Amino acid sequence: MELRLLNYFRVVCEVLHFTRAAEKLGISQPTLSQQIRLLEDRLDTTLFFRVGKRIELTPAGVILLEHVNQIFLEIDCASEKIEELKGLHRGQLRIGSSGNHFLYSPLLSFHEKYPKIKLSVFDFTSEEIVQKVLNSELDIGAIFLPVYHEQLQTIPLFSSKLSVAVSYIHPFSNRDSIYMHELQLHPLFLLPKHYLLRQTIDKHCLELGFTLNPIVELSDIYSLIRMTQLHNGITIVPEIYAKDVADLPIKLLNIVDSLPTNEVGLIFRKGNFTSSAVQAFIDHLTNHYNVNK
């Protein structure tokens, strides 16, 4: 069976829409429909229920998708093994990170050491990174731990406590510490609710008997700190992230309430084969944070 047909099927499964799948593949919608019908004829089964423009996988389609994903995973693995023959002089690493600031320094030093390995870094939530590593859309993830999954291996890098950040003209700037309940009456900027850090903050506040209601939610820590500095507000961020943003004048306040410490680490797929590039990146980051503890 042609890989081309299986790839067409896989893309349709991703978006569950023939027109959007055709656009993604760069072919016409009638051509895609004809190719899927050809695949169904060869398998003598129906792969999709078609209800108007909406489609769903049939039971046979679900079974085929599971095996198609495994086929393409094996192809990717074979490609990586072939790249191994070329050593660490070329290749690409796709890295997912829940906030990129703590990677700045080790990324630059890794590039200096392996200049021909292309590094692509994507900012996603921890949940998105886990799924994309499992789907082999990312080679490695740098996220908040713990993560429990039988197909994933984790390596802790460092722990970082949460701190309150304010501008130097904020009324709190003359203090060194603060209680969480004091934040309720001030403009507050936080990550969206589906982020693990925000969930940690919300859970802790509920245990203390109140909720925090940010006036703005932003999906990256640099923007949170920038808004805090420009608009004289407050944010709550991991201390190590804020310290890496040296270009923004903010003050960090210790949180008196015992908020949980956040552990950051690496995740990657378990298996018999880990590419040299992935292993080199793991070794580089673990060494970087061991040296800088």
Confidence of residue 211 (pLDDT cuts 50, 70, 90): very high
Query: pLDDT digits over 102-147, tens only?
Result: 677 788 889 888 888 888 999 888 888 999 999 889 999 998 888 8
Query: How much is the pLDDT for 88?
Result: 57
CATH number for the domain spanning 7: value is: 1.10.10.10
Domain-ending residue, one of 78, 96, 113: 78
Same domain, 213 and 142: no
CATH of the domain at 170: 3.40.190.290
For the chain, the average pLDDT equals 85
Phi, psi (deg, nearest 5) at residue 195: -85, 140
* Half-sphere exposure in the Cβ direction for 242 (13 Å, CA): 25
Quick one: 169 and 253 in the same domain? yes
Distance separating alpha carbons of residues 205 and 259, to the nearest angstrom: 9
Among all chains, which residue has been given the structure tokens 């270009």? 247
For the cut 60, the answer to whether the pLDDT of residue 89 exceeds it is: no
Q: Mean pLDDT throughout 266-286? A: 82
Q: How do residues 142-198 score in pLDDT, each as one tens digit? A: 988 888 888 999 999 888 788 999 998 999 999 999 999 999 988 999 999 888 888
> Which two structure tokens, joined as six digits, stand for 233?
């507000």
Residue 16, pLDDT above cutoff 80: yes
**Do 143 and 171 belong to one domain?**
no
Residue range 54-81: average pLDDT? 86
Q: Which two tokens stand for residue 120?
A: 């692509």
Domain holding 40, by residue range, is 3-78
Q: What percent of the chain has pLDDT over 90?
A: 36
Q: Is the pLDDT of residue 78 over 80?
A: no
Between helix 276-291 and helix 104-113 the angle, nearest 10°, is 130
- With a cut of 70, say whether residue 85 has pLDDT above it: no
In a shared domain, residues 255 and 167: yes
Q: Specify the number of domains making up the chain.
A: 3
Strands (E), 80-182: 91-97, 117-123, 140-145, 152-160, 162-167, 177-178
